[in-house]
Amino acid sequence: MSTNTLPSFLEKYFEGLTLSPALFYSWKYSIRFEISDPLISSHEKDCLNQAFHRSITLFHRVFEEGDEILFITDVHTTNKDRFLQKRPLNVYLKYIKDKQRLYQLNHHCLPSVFQDEDEDDDQSLTHRYVLSCKKTELRYAQLLKAINYEDFAHPSTILKSNSQSSYDIYFINLSKKKIFHLYDDRGCDVLASSKESIRFLYEEYNNWILDYDREEIDLLFK
């Protein structure tokens, strides 16, 4: 994969979009799905079961086996944090089946993707890891479950030994021009280069749409 694949893809199909939360509010052709049931305690098994069911279902609908995917991990930290130097990010070791693929992993150190004027931008930065892969090369079920568990004391928590940092994982479908961002057990954003390419998600999983944003989403697809 060319190191320019991601920026050139975004420039061509998602012009003006910065890859940072909350993606739903940054792109016109997007849907925000509610992943866990707010009426069930987040510590109950049923809540996590629903979150996993919804996230894996949406993932299967957005990505097919032959699609070219960019698997992106952003680690948000400070330039004083030496965590990644002491213990390399294990996301790709754990969730990529063929370890030889890791030789193609790209790493970029960026200014913080969160443009907050109240922060000292010289202190905040984002480590961005990008790997080109196929769906069949990913242990995506385990990875989605780990993202859902992020706010809980669970062995699969991705940054469990570094509470100072946070992360975001994005899956970009280069073939279908879509972006999938499960931000935690609460919700998932799906973006597309055209609204018609995600209309089926709006129709098939309409009752999963986050009510807070439903009016805006309904207007988009009318």
Domain count, the chain: 1
In a domain, 186, yes or no: yes
Question: The domain containing residue 156 runs over which residues?
Answer: 40-111+122-221
Stretch 160-165: mean pLDDT: 53
**CB of 102 closer than 8 Å to CB of 93:** yes
pLDDT band, residue 117 (cuts 50/70/90)? very low
Q: pLDDT per residue over 203-221, tens digit each?
A: 999 999 999 999 999 999 9
Report pLDDT for 19: 94
In a domain, 53, yes or no: yes
In a domain, 4, yes or no: no
Q: Which residue has the tokens 């004027």?
A: 117
The percent of residues in the chain predicted with pLDDT above 90, rounded, is 55
In a domain, 199, yes or no: yes
In a domain, 24, yes or no: no
Q: Is the pLDDT of residue 157 over 60?
A: no
3-state secondary structure (DSSP) of residue 187 = strand
| Cis peptide bond upstream of 22, omega within 30 | yes
In a domain, 175, yes or no: yes
| Residues contacting 216, CB < 8 A, separation 6+ | none
**CB of 130 closer than 8 Å to CB of 1:** yes
Tokens at 48, concatenated? 């996590």
**CB of 93 closer than 8 Å to CB of 103:** no
| Residues contacting 217, CB < 8 A, separation 6+ | 31, 32, 202, 209
Neighbours of 136 (CB within 10 A): 9
pLDDT band, residue 42 (cuts 50/70/90)? low
Report pLDDT for 166: 79
Q: What pTM was computed for the model?
A: 0.87
In a domain, 14, yes or no: no
In a domain, 12, yes or no: no
